[in-house]
Amino acid sequence: MKVKYLSTYCPKPGAAVVQVQSGSFEGLVLLNVPENYRVKDKIFYVTYHYDPTLDHEDNIACPLDKAYTHAKMYTVDSVGEQSCNE
């Protein structure tokens, strides 16, 4: 899936808020995004999965991420500069 990096997700170190670039333009929170991909407006490709054990409300106040406070979190399986379909 093609995504665009928007910001960090402060309750979870290493987590990123990204915007899906394939039609819906929804926001996702991804865990385990490598630091070199956490660059404002960077476009990259990911595969990911949903882990229900991570889907709980964070107790840390994060005023900049209010829109994503209750976002589902997904774990990155792979990340790259090119789509695996190319």
Residues 6+ apart with CB under 8 A from 72: 28, 29, 50, 55
Residues 6+ apart with CB under 8 A from 71: 9, 17, 27, 28, 29
Say if 20 falls within a structural domain.
yes
Please tell me the pTM assigned to this model. 0.77
Say if 18 falls within a structural domain.
yes
What is the arithmetic mean of pLDDT over 1-9? 88
Domain that holds residue 69: 2-80
Say if 65 falls within a structural domain.
yes
Say if 46 falls within a structural domain.
yes
Check residue 25 and give its pLDDT.
60
Say if 17 falls within a structural domain.
yes
* pLDDT tens, position by position, 19-73: 888 766 677 888 889 999 999 999 999 999 988 887 665 555 565 555 555 667 8
Check residue 65 and give its pLDDT.
52
**Number of structural domains the chain divides into:** 1
Say if 85 falls within a structural domain.
no
Say if 86 falls within a structural domain.
no
